[in-house]
Amino acid sequence: MSATAPGFETSSEHRCFGGVVGFYRHDAATTACSMRFAVFVPPQAGSGRVPVLYYLAGLTCTEETFMIKAGAQRVAAELGLMLVAPDTSPRGVTLPGDREAWDFGVGAGYYLDATQAPWDRHYRMESYVTRELPALVEAGFPADPGRRGIFGHSMGGHGALTLALKNPGQYRSVSAFAPIAAASRSPWGRKAFASYLGPDRGQWSAYDATELVLRVPDGPRRPPILIDQGLSDAFLETQLHPRVFEQACAKVGQRLTLRRHEGYDHGYYFISSFIEDHLRHHARLLA
């Protein structure tokens, strides 16, 4: 498949539920470094272009995490959904302090375009995810550019919500697992925003899902949002703030289904338990 595809190299490809899971790398213009991404191509792609669903992973994860741990390929093959998972940050560039903590720097790109040096040259994940990666995928794989969805987990749930809210014409469906739903109130978010975006909190609102929902009260015209949240999540009260996002959605009429689950934590056992519901949510909207 990828031997003649433009712009990227194949690391490995694996047959899976009648389709193919592949891992790829390319030189990215937006991040000025080599980037990695994974794609699951369902069997229906043999007959034409299929809907494409972008998954954004959380802190410390890579492009492999979702494909290995979530158990999504069986249902995606049934529904004819292509799955694309980018890496969570630039890698292979050395910046001061980028490896000193697990919640900042490498593995923690926050799906934003940094404005502060030295991060602004490479940490441009918003542009990468919304522009460069879709162009690459749609040129090299049978992805339908008119049927894109986005979802993610934790930091990636934050990314899915913010990118969907900022680009309503680009994504026809959106969902999240345990997202950082009000990043300006989260210690994780405040730490990242202060370094990537600077001290001006007015700049932070462009990457805070709650602030974005409130900014333009056009909720009924946006895609409905599905969120699943475990009630035994250690980060629920301090980092994630789903209740704040829920209240903001109610205020402006944004359609939201927020499901709370007793006993579930923040990890991939939780995600794998509800991944089928999310894929079916997206398939309905992308049909």
First to last CA, the chain: 25
Catalytic residue among 208, 233, 241, 278: 233
pLDDT the model gives residue 5: 56
Which residue type sits at 209? A
Q: Is the peptide bond preceding residue 118 cis, with omega within 30 degrees of 0?
A: yes
**Would you call 154 a catalytic residue per the annotation?**
yes
pLDDT the model gives residue 209: 98
Q: What is the pLDDT along the chain (287 residues), one digit of tens a residue?
A: 443 456 899 999 999 999 999 999 999 999 999 999 999 999 999 999 999 999 999 999 999 999 999 999 999 999 999 999 999 999 999 899 999 999 999 999 999 999 999 999 999 999 999 999 999 999 999 999 999 999 999 999 999 999 999 998 899 999 999 999 999 999 999 999 999 999 999 999 999 999 999 986 655 568 999 999 999 999 999 999 999 999 999 999 999 999 999 999 999 999 999 999 999 999 999 99
pLDDT the model gives residue 215: 86
Q: 59: which 2 tokens?
A: 């802190």
pLDDT the model gives residue 222: 85
Residue 196 per-residue DSSP state: H
pLDDT the model gives residue 32: 98
Q: Say how far apart CA 249 and CA 209 lie, in whole Å.
A: 10
pLDDT the model gives residue 197: 98
Catalytic residue among 87, 113, 154, 175: 154
Whole-model pTM? 0.96
Q: For residue 108, give every residue at least 6 positions away whose Cβ sits within 8 Å of its Cβ, in sequence order, or none.
A: 59, 60, 88, 89, 102, 155, 192
Which residue type sits at 91? R
Order of all β-strands in the sheet with 173-177: 9-16, 19-28, 33-41, 82-86, 50-56, 143-153, 173-177, 225-230, 256-261
Q: Say how far apart CA 162 and CA 129 lie, in whole Å.
A: 12
**Would you call 266 a catalytic residue per the annotation?**
yes
Catalytic residue among 26, 153, 158, 266: 266
pLDDT the model gives residue 217: 60
pLDDT the model gives residue 2: 43
Q: Say how far apart CA 186 and CA 154 lie, in whole Å.
A: 12
pLDDT the model gives residue 220: 54
Helices (H), the chain: 65-69, 73-79, 125-127, 133-140, 155-166, 187-196, 201-204, 209-215, 242-252, 268-286
